[in-house]
Amino acid sequence: MAGLVKPKLLVIGGPTATGKTALSVALARRFNGEVISADSMQLYRGLDVGTAKVTAEEAAGVPHHLVDSIGPEQTYSVADYVAAARHCIDEIISRGKLPLVVGGTGLYISSLLNGVEFTPQKPTAELRRALEQELEQRGREALYRELQELDPEGAACIHPNNTPRLLRALELYRSTGKTMSQQKAESRPAEEPYDALVFGLNDPDREALYRRIDRRVDRMLEQGILDEARQVWLHRSEWKTAAQAIGYK
């Protein structure tokens, strides 16, 4: 990409209740932009309250992409997100507008900005079921030790209790023959693909942040999160990825 003009992006990240939505809408209105969600749970249709999905009133007419994109029964990966976000960026720029990537899923944002290329070979459902059976029979500790032997560097980046990432790392190795660390090293281009201005929001007053989160939880209860959580629980065997949303857990 040397010598080429890179597409410009505005990126807003940060933890919950730091004002990402309000800031992104204000900036999109000011600079003729459209928002691309980088939230791994706002993708799911019908799960609105527990994922703090942007409302029509909050959006104030600003288009929001990759929200309500898939059904809660569908699985979705960071590779799926990067491909979809790249497509959205190209379309928004073709309309002469500014793409704003906004959300709290750091892995989605970093993978997009770093230009990560993912292996086209996806693990099969049979492999995932086999690993889940191993998890039940051998236990999480045994699988984590296996990963440590295969890929010490990759294992060091995964907490032993983080079962989804543990299984994903073993899936990658068994389906491709390459460790997570090898694939990560091979997946990044020499140059990042976008000219991105990144805002990382936070609040140094942790107590004030926690008070805002408390108020958000109160609003979620008023808006019906218990009914949504009940539906997630009843469909937990089919909605495996969607059921991981922190609000419901």
Q: What is the DSSP string of 141-154?
A: HHHHHHHHHH-HHH
Q: Please give the domain boundaries of the chain with CATH numbers for all domains.
A: 8-117+189-244 (3.40.50.300), 125-186 (1.10.20.140)
pLDDT of residue 81: 96
Instruction: pLDDT tens for the chain, 249 residues: list them.
Output: 455 789 999 999 998 889 999 999 999 999 999 999 999 999 999 999 999 899 999 999 999 999 999 999 998 888 899 999 999 999 999 999 999 999 989 989 999 999 998 876 666 788 989 999 999 999 999 999 999 999 999 999 999 999 988 998 999 899 888 898 888 788 888 889 999 999 999 988 999 999 999 999 999 999 999 999 999 999 988 998 888 888 888
Which residue type, as a one-letter code, is found at position 70? I
pLDDT of residue 228: 94
Sheet holding 195-200, edge to edge: 64-65, 33-37, 98-103, 8-13, 195-200
Give, in order, the Cα–Cα distances in Å from 189 to each of 50, 87, 176, 230: 36, 18, 20, 44
Helix or strand holding residue 26 (H, E) = helix 20-30
The CA distance from 237 to 231, in Å, is 11
Contacts of 12 (CB under 8 A, 6+ apart): 20, 23, 24, 27, 100, 101, 102, 103, 198, 199, 201
The alpha-helical segments, DSSP class H, found in 55-124 are 56-59, 78-94, 106-113
Helix 163-176 vs helix 180-187: angle between axes, to the nearest 10 degrees? Answer: 80
pLDDT of residue 194: 97
Residues in the chain: 249
The radius of gyration of the chain's CA atoms, rounded to the nearest angstrom, is 19
pLDDT of residue 121: 64
209, 22 contact by CB (below 8 A): no
pTM for this one?
0.81
